[in-house]
Amino acid sequence: MWQNLRKDIQSGNIKALARVLSLLENETLGYESFMQSLQLNHHARVIGITGPPGAGKSTLTDALIGTLVATGRKVAVLCVDPSSPFHLGALLGDRIRMNQWYAHPQVYIRSLASRGNLGGLHPKILEMTDVLKEAKFDDIIVETVGVGQSEIEIAGLADTTVVVLVPEAGDEIQTMKAGLMEIADIFVVNKADRPGADTFINNLQHMLNPAQTGNTWKIPIVSTVATNGMGITELISFINLHSSILQTPERKLWLLTDKAYRLLQQKCMRGIKRNQLKVQLTERLQQPGFNLYQWTEELL
């Protein structure tokens, strides 16, 4: 089954691609051997889109799709939405914002739930991205839940990470500063037609200047209004520039190291499920002298 599915996705069969991603998501028997059979030598570009809720990430992604497709590129999008911590379900609003592309022959969009993952991504995002590369997409856009101190996994997945902000995010920058400085390759100030946008951009530039001393890549700040396409062409130009000058052996090695770390982390956590922990914890709490730290050490 898996071998036939691989041939199908290589030939552009979208139904087969959707099925493989579902099988991966559910960790169906044989998925590991399937992943090990992939060549993983494709040159697809992974673009990460992250930023606080309400910044317009989905609208920006929609605009990027339109511009990239117009140049003849084949685009895949993985949209990750937040999950309920109780039933792990999610409201996948990207299906509404990007509905014009679902039947387009050059576009594939998959909405995912984060399933409680603190990194802002789906637990199987690495595998899904590599499968999309096998399907010969030119660009793979990954839109995360949001950005914060813990949500920096996208930097280990994407070749270029775009952090989207809005003019009203002045106070948020102070709380997110460390994470933003580490993960952003390009800043986008979306909804730049709002009052105070110029002041916000100047403040952001002043914040960046000290950290960029001696860096090869000077992080650009792009003003956009995603709803009407303003600034999208400029943003893609910076993405192209970043891709061309920073695909060094050192950066590729860093990205592979980060991916290897996360795959090993997943394997170490295999078999540990929240629902099972809840049952075990319920039983253990009935015994006197419960200590959470002792209990977790016993599980290990």
Residues 225-250: pLDDT tens digits?
999 999 999 999 999 999 888 666 77
270 has pLDDT over 90: no
Q: DSSP letter string over the chain?
A: -HHHHHHHHHTT-HHHHHHHHHHHHTT-TTHHHHHHH------PEEEEEE-STTS-HHHHHHHHHHHHHHTT--EEEEEEE---TTT-----THHHHTGGGTT-TTEEEEEEE-TT-TTSS-TTHHHHHHHHHHTT-SEEEEE-S--SSS--THHHH-SEEEEEE-GGGHHHHHHHHHHHHHH-SEEEE-STTSTTHHHHHHHHHHHHGGGGTT-SS---EEE-BTTTTBTHHHHHHHHHHHHHHH--HHHHHHHHHHHHHHHHHHHHHTT--HHHHHHHHHHHHTSSS--HHHHHHHH-
Cα 91-142-189 angle, rounded to 5 deg: 90
Q: Are residues 102 and 234 part of one domain?
A: yes
What is residue 226's predicted lDDT score, i.e. its pLDDT? 96
Average pLDDT over residues 52-72: 93
Q: Taking a C-beta distance cutoff of 8 angstroms, is the pair 232, 67 a contact?
A: yes
**Which amino acid belongs to residue 7?**
K
Average pLDDT over residues 134-154: 78
What is residue 282's predicted lDDT score, i.e. its pLDDT? 92
Greater pLDDT, 202 or 299: 202
Q: Are residues 141 and 24 part of one domain?
A: no
Q: 124 pLDDT band (50/70/90 cuts)? A: confident
Q: Are residues 257 and 193 part of one domain?
A: yes
Q: Are residues 216 and 186 part of one domain?
A: yes
Please give the residue range of the domain that contains residue 296.
Answer: 275-300
Cα 128-129-135 angle, rounded to 5 deg: 90
CATH number for 62: 3.40.50.300
Q: Are residues 93 and 13 part of one domain?
A: no
Average pLDDT, the chain: 84
**How many angstroms separate the CA atoms of 225 and 229, rounded?**
6
Q: Are residues 292 and 153 part of one domain?
A: no
Q: Are residues 45 and 28 part of one domain?
A: no
Q: Taking a C-beta distance cutoff of 8 angstroms, is the pair 190, 62 a contact?
A: no
12 has pLDDT over 70: yes
Q: Are residues 297 and 215 part of one domain?
A: no
For the stretch 82-115, pLDDT in tens is: 655 555 555 555 556 677 888 899 999 998 876 5
Q: Which of 54-68, 74-88, 196-210 has the lowest mean pLDDT?
A: 74-88
Which residues, at least 6 apart from 101, have a Cβ–Cβ distance to it below 8 Å? Answer: 62, 65, 69, 77, 107, 109
Share above pLDDT 90 across residues of the chain, in percent, rounded to a whole number: 43
For the stretch 160-213, pLDDT in tens is: 999 999 998 665 566 565 566 678 899 999 999 999 999 999 988 888 887 676
Q: 149 pLDDT band (50/70/90 cuts)? A: very low
Q: Are residues 188 and 63 part of one domain?
A: yes
Average pLDDT over residues 241-261: 79
* pTM (2 d.p.): 0.85
Greater pLDDT, 63 or 92: 63
What is residue 176's predicted lDDT score, i.e. its pLDDT? 60
Q: Are residues 128 and 96 part of one domain?
A: yes
Average pLDDT over residues 142-159: 72
If one counts the domains in the chain, the total is 3
Average pLDDT over residues 273-278: 84
30 has pLDDT over 70: yes
**How many angstroms separate the CA atoms of 184 and 200, rounded?**
17
Average pLDDT over residues 55-65: 94
Beta bridge partners of 112: 80
**How many angstroms separate the CA atoms of 38 and 29, rounded?**
16
Burial track 143-182 (b if 16+ CB lie within 10 A, e otherwise): bbbbbbeebbbbbbbbbbbbbbbbbbbeebeeebeebbee
**How many angstroms separate the CA atoms of 74 and 68, rounded?**
8
- What is the rounded (10 degree) CA torsion for 235, 239, 240, 245? 140
Q: Are residues 14 and 99 part of one domain?
A: no
Q: Are residues 157 and 75 part of one domain?
A: yes
